[in-house]
Structure 1
Amino acid sequence: MDIQNHYYGHSAVLAAYAGLSRPRHIAGLLQHGWTATSPVAAHFADFPTVGAAAGGRRPSRRLLVWSHRSRAWDPAAEDRPTTAVGAPVLYLERLLHQQGWARSDTLGPVFVPFHGTRLVRVTGAHADLARQVAKVDGPSTVCLHHEDLTDPEITSAWADAGHRLVTAGRRDDPHFLLRIMHLAGNASRLSSNRLSTAVLYAAALGTPAAVWGDPLNFGAQGADALAMLREHWPEFHTTDPEDGSRPGTGAADADAAATALARAELGGDALLEPDALRAALGWTGAPKPGPALQYYAASPLAKAAMVLGLTKRSEAATQAMSAGSFSPWLWLRNPLAALPRPLPKGLPTPVTTEEALTRP
């Protein structure tokens, strides 16, 4: 019912797994990334009534989260029920395994710098971080956010340090997750300077994954937010980036612990079989008009009401969505970004990882 349901190729992957040729409108909201806070606050704040029961009836639109086992939040503490369905990347893994795919080290080291958004930019010494990565891992494949590719200071910092630059594309590209899978599944190690979705993906696939380096600056986020990440998820944070060691354990044991944790965070125990997944997404039977009307009309109006102050987000949701620096003016600078677009196409058959990564 909202464009976020189709971010990063998630709906295309779910459609392929469910046996559909292309995505449909989802009857509810789908979590679109790993978050260190509640996905209800971070991703679903614009729609405070979705998922809420009315008159004792089961809601027709669900809040679909990746996991109920994440350390980031307690589903029982939310004011609306959520349904755990597992992360789309784990469904893509299943599809690829069915076709004989296996993880490899062919790409060598991969680094994914923490990125901002069109609303909140990441700032800091990219050149210093790029040189540190070159010193620790050697020339690496560096996956930049597509908006960072428009910043010559950022691209030159990484290219001048000897790295190969790629991007997974725009968030509305249905092949986005295929490209991330190619990186995460074929890296000898995937690293980032902040704990993020890509690190979880790599660890879940069995790829050594680690967080190290200058975390850079993100909005109004301070040292407390970084300390919280390290405290809650120490398995991903290295004490020595060169050998990948974590507190109190060797590298091999650390990788195994990180894999187990990542699969829990991504909902490895919540994955559904195709029939059950179609039911959870509202994809059984013929397509219904309700989700389409919500997608093209109700969703944009609900977001506009938030921007204009006609409805309010909770304080927790505001902080979770914008690192404490939210302002409606930021959204008004990009008034077309939240408008619905035609649904994405389906994935190619058979499904393969996208090796032709977009390069600057």
Structure 2
Amino acid sequence: MDIQNHYYGHSAVLAAYAGLPRPRHIAGLLQHGWTAISPVAAHFADFPKVGTDPRQRRLLVWSHGCRGWSPADEDRATTPVGAPVLYLERLLRSQGWSRSDRLGPVYIPFHGTRLVRVTGAHADLARQVAKVDGPSTVCLHHEDMTDPEIATAWADAGHTLVTAGRRDDPHFLLRIMHLIGNASRVSSNRLSTAVLYAAAVGAPAAVWGDPLTFGAQSSSALEELRATWPEFHTADPDDGSRPHDGAAEADTAATALARRELGADHLLEPSALREALGWGRAPSIGPAVQYYAASPLAKAAMVLGLTKRSEAATQAMSAGSFSPMLWLRNPLAALPRPLPRGLPAPVTTEEALRASAPEDAPHHPQQGDAQ
């Protein structure tokens, strides 16, 4: 019922797994990223009535086994369905896919958004990554890729730059899977969705390096991440040692934790998934009306302060210093668009799905694609 249901190719992957040729409108809200706090506050704040009657519209979360929040503490019911990346893994493995190390080390820097930028010494972090892991494949957010200062910092350090595309690209998750599925190790400077994805599919994954600055987020928030999920954090390897060396047991523990955080125990079979998403035999007009009309109006009212967010939701969003003026600078960003295309069968992460830089990105000889 909202554009976030189709972020990052999630609905396209779920449709492919459910046996549909393309996504439909979802009867509810689907969690679109891993979050250290409750997704009800972090992702569903603009729609406080969704989930009050799960028979009509559900709050679809990835897991009820997360360390950072408990469904028992919420005032709305949530339904765990597992993360789309795990459904993609199932699809790929059913077609004979397996992990490899052919890309070597992959680094995925923490990124901002069009509303709140990540600031800091990208050049220093890029040089540290080169010192520790050597020239690496670095996956930048597509907006960071178009920032000359950020892109140049990483390219000048000798790294190959790639991007998974825009968040409304149905192939986004396939490109991420290509990266983490062929990396000898995956690192980031913040515990984020990509780190959980990598660990979940069996890639060595760790958090190290300058976390940079994001909005008004305090240092205590980063300390809490480290304390709650120590399995993913390592000391900065300033001495040139590799943070993943000799860590087979730690990698196994991180994989088990990541799969729990992403809801591996909640994955559904195709028919049950279709039911959870409201994808019956015939499309329903209700979710479509909500998607194109009701949801944009509800979100605008919340952003402009005409509708009040809960205290938990306000606290969850305060780290980014959100304000109506920031949203009004990008008035078209939250407007609904036609549903994304379906994925070709068989689903593959190979050459047809190149993750090349946007046309308006700065050109560097080191730039490549995710293949």
Same fold (TM over 0.5): yes
1:273 maps to which of 269, 275, 282: 269
2:251 maps to which of 237, 243, 255: 255
- Matches of 1:287 and 1:167, distance apart in 2: 34
* Counterpart code for 1:75: P
Quick check: 2:204–2:244 contact (8 Å CA) kept in 1? no
Q: Which residue of 2 aligns with 1:243?
A: 242
- Matches of 1:116 and 1:316, distance apart in 2: 22
The correspondence of residues 120-199 of structure 1 with structure 2, limited to 5 A, is 120-199=116-195
The correspondence of residues 34-45 of structure 1 with structure 2, limited to 5 A, is 34-45=34-45
Q: Which residue of 1 aligns with 2:355?
A: 357
Residue-by-residue CA offset, 1:216-268 (whole Å, 9 max, x unaligned): 0000011100000000000000136433269xxx5111100000000000000
Moved more, 309-318 or 7-16: 309-318
Quick check: 1:307–1:332 contact (8 Å CA) kept in 2? no
- Matches of 2:145 and 2:320, distance apart in 1: 25
Instruction: Kindly indicate whether residue 224 of structure 2 is the aligned counterpart of residue 228 of structure 1.
Output: yes
Could you tell me how far 1:322 is from its partner in structure 2?
Answer: 4.8
Q: Which residue of 2 aligns with 1:210?
A: 206
Any idea what SS the aligned residue of 1:147 has?
A: helix
Residue-by-residue CA offset, 1:71-111 (whole Å, 9 max, x unaligned): 11010000000000000000000000010000000100000
- Matches of 2:84 and 2:254, distance apart in 1: 19
Instruction: Kindly indicate whether residue 106 of structure 2 is the aligned counterpart of residue 110 of structure 1.
Output: yes
* Counterpart code for 1:342: P
Any idea what SS the aligned residue of 1:203 has?
A: helix
Instruction: Kindly indicate whether residue 285 of structure 2 is the aligned counterpart of residue 289 of structure 1.
Output: yes
Q: Which residue of 2 aligns with 1:11?
A: 11
- Matches of 2:350 and 2:276, distance apart in 1: 28
Quick check: 1:16–1:346 contact (8 Å CA) kept in 2? yes
- Matches of 1:309 and 1:252, distance apart in 2: 50
Could you tell me how far 1:310 is from its partner in structure 2?
Answer: 1.0
Q: Runs in 1 of length 4+ with deviation above 6 angstroms?
A: none
- Matches of 2:244 and 2:349, distance apart in 1: 30
Quick check: 1:175–1:354 contact (8 Å CA) kept in 2? no
Quick check: 2:83–2:262 contact (8 Å CA) kept in 1? yes
- Matches of 1:117 and 1:319, distance apart in 2: 18
> Percent same amino acid among aligned pairs?
82
Residue-by-residue CA offset, 1:173-195 (whole Å, 9 max, x unaligned): 00000000000110000000000
* Counterpart code for 1:127: A
Quick check: 1:17–1:274 contact (8 Å CA) kept in 2? yes
Any idea what SS the aligned residue of 2:266 has?
A: coil
| Structure 2 gap segments, 5+ residues each | 362-371
Quick check: 1:239–1:245 contact (8 Å CA) kept in 2? no
Could you tell me how far 1:19 is from its partner in structure 2?
Answer: 0.2
Return the TM-score normalized by structure 2.
Answer: 0.93
Instruction: Kindly indicate whether residue 84 of structure 2 is the aligned counterpart of residue 88 of structure 1.
Output: yes
Could you tell me how far 1:324 is from its partner in structure 2?
Answer: 4.9
Any idea what SS the aligned residue of 2:59 has?
A: strand
Residue-by-residue CA offset, 1:147-202 (whole Å, 9 max, x unaligned): 11121110110000000000000000000000000001100000000000000000
Any idea what SS the aligned residue of 2:185 has?
A: strand
* Counterpart code for 2:333: A
Quick check: 1:190–1:202 contact (8 Å CA) kept in 2? yes
- Matches of 2:256 and 2:318, distance apart in 1: 29
The correspondence of residues 22-61 of structure 1 with structure 2, limited to 5 A, is 22-53=22-53, 58-61=54-57
- Matches of 1:324 and 1:148, distance apart in 2: 17
Quick check: 2:103–2:137 contact (8 Å CA) kept in 1? yes
The number of residues matched between the two structures is 353
- Matches of 1:270 and 1:284, distance apart in 2: 20
- Matches of 2:290 and 2:277, distance apart in 1: 14
Quick check: 1:243–1:251 contact (8 Å CA) kept in 2? no
| Structure 1 gap segments, 5+ residues each | none
Return the TM-score normalized by structure 1.
Answer: 0.96
Distance 1:308 1:75, change over 3 A: same
Q: CA RMSD in A?
A: 1.2
